[in-house]
Amino acid sequence: MKLQKLVYCSYGWWLVGKNQDQQPLCLEGPQVWAYGPVFQSLYHIFKVFGHQKIKAPKSGSPFEEISVVDQDDRLIESLIDWIWTRYGHLSGLALSEMTHKPGTPWQRVVQEYNYRVPDGLVIPDRYIFDEFQGLLDSYRSRETAATS
């Protein structure tokens, strides 16, 4: 669960910070699942670990190579470091609770569907962008207030 939520945070911050010509961070968007946003392919790759710690990288099938971040991609590396510094100390449950708060993209979609969400429904990027843009705006206003 923690990995899912950290990837979700990375996805959201990437949406806010990316340029029009940049590739998306992930090839899929997060879906609406019972415990919040979930990247389906990530879930299926790592579900074998259950509630145990993930001990090694895995690929989606025995015929695929393990995906890794390009060692020269400083932007992605910087994002991952920043996400870990900001959210890495939180448990999977704490991160999951963050995604269930009123007004979050997950909560908005769940309410729009009256808690009967069809399987495979992807949370709209505009909802995620709005959430993380709000976090960025809040962060910037705290920084401004601190330096005033």
Note the pLDDT tens digit of each residue in 23-56.
Answer: 888 889 999 998 899 999 999 988 988 888 888 7
* Count of domains for the chain: 1
Asked if residue 7 belongs to a domain, the reply is yes
Asked if residue 148 belongs to a domain, the reply is no
Asked if residue 90 belongs to a domain, the reply is yes
pTM of the model: 0.88
Q: Provide the pLDDT for residue 58.
A: 75
Range of the domain at 136: 2-143
pLDDT, mean of residues 85-90: 97
Three-state secondary structure along 75-118? HHHHHHHHHHHHHCCCCHHHHHHHHCCCCCHHHHHHHHCCCCCC
Q: Provide the pLDDT for residue 30.
A: 98
